[in-house]
Amino acid sequence: MTRQLESSAEKVYALAFGAHPDDVELACGATLLKIMNEGHAVAVCDLTRGEMGTLGTPETRKSESEAATVVMGYQSRVTLDLGDSKLFYTENNLAEIVRIIRHFRPDVVFINPPDERHPDHSKASKLVTDAFYYAGLKQLTTTMNEIPQKPYRPEHLLYYIQFKHLEPDLIVDVSKTFDASRKGVLSFASQFYREGTTEEPKTLIKRKEFLTGLEARARYFGEQIGVMYGEGFRLSGTMAIKSFSAAFPSKEVDN
């Protein structure tokens, strides 16, 4: 863990998991900023240190994720060491994620959808989806700093759309936070295109076009709901409508 967690729980509204440092910023950073702008606390948990990345070192990833945490304004960020490219479905890995869920007691959890390009993303999806459920089981005991944790099952699990295109179940209007979220992405400077660094390995996300591709997707999702920028999500189950008019607001455009 990059920082020692307190023994007592520290409640947040949203907890975003990512397989590697930068996944959360790439996939749903603007939504996290929107949640914080609405007055709710957000925490991020990277399941691995990203030590198998082609670019940068674990040390640069660590300092970059600390910079991203400051620029994004998360309440907390935890980096676990479950093994980049070794993110296996084990009892230990499940228990580590259960511990994080019980510590932050979020209302909403974010993770990749089950089918993603990087195998770690798909594995992370399965682990977090199952830990989301298991965290509520009283008979499954975990501790934080040797203090027993209380069982806790969050209310909502959302899958952010990252690399593979999926038809979103819902699109969040992030027009007001998309530009600011780019600062979180660009904090991971070793991963992305920079002028004058042509000698570095050319990975998929290192290409100059990758960052414009991210913007194009946000514009595309935004266009689907009649706004500038959007981020798309898949539901993990059936969504309940409690306030009908909040879920289906009046029109804001003329036609």
Residues lying near Zn ion in the complex (CB under 5 A) are found at: 19-20, 23
Q: Kindly tell me which of 20 and 49 has the beta carbon lying closer to Zn ion.
A: 20
**Residue 216: strand, helix, or coil:** helix
Q: Name the residue whose CB lies closest to Zn ion.
A: 20
Measured from the CB of residue 23, what is the shortest distance to Zn ion in angstroms? 4
Measured from the CB of residue 124, what is the shortest distance to Zn ion in angstroms? 8
Which amino acid, one-letter code, is at 183?
A: K
Report the distance separating Cα 98 and Cα 132, nearest Å: 7
Measured from the CB of residue 50, what is the shortest distance to Zn ion in angstroms? 7
Report the distance separating Cα 67 and Cα 176, nearest Å: 21
Q: Kindly tell me which of 19 and 41 has the beta carbon lying closer to Zn ion.
A: 19
Cβ–Cβ < 8 Å for 37, 176: yes
Cβ–Cβ < 8 Å for 79, 46: yes
Measured from the CB of residue 145, what is the shortest distance to Zn ion in angstroms? 29
Q: Kindly tell me which of 96 and 173 has the beta carbon lying closer to Zn ion.
A: 96
Q: Kindly tell me which of 47 and 109 has the beta carbon lying closer to Zn ion.
A: 47
Q: Kindly tell me which of 50 and 232 has the beta carbon lying closer to Zn ion.
A: 50
Measured from the CB of residue 100, what is the shortest distance to Zn ion in angstroms? 17
Report the distance separating Cα 84 and Cα 190, nearest Å: 17
Measured from the CB of residue 192, what is the shortest distance to Zn ion in angstroms? 13
Instruction: Say if strands 230-235 and 156-160 run parallel, antiparallel, or are unpaired.
Output: antiparallel
Q: Kindly tell me which of 23 and 231 has the beta carbon lying closer to Zn ion.
A: 23
CA angle 30, 191, 66 (to 5 degrees): 60
Give which of 244, 208, 214, 246 is closest to 232, Cα–Cα: 214
Please give the helix or strand (H or E) that residue 144 lies within, else none.
strand 143-144
Distance of CA 236 to the CA centre of its chain: 15
Q: Per the structure block, which two tokens stand in for 59? A: 């040390």
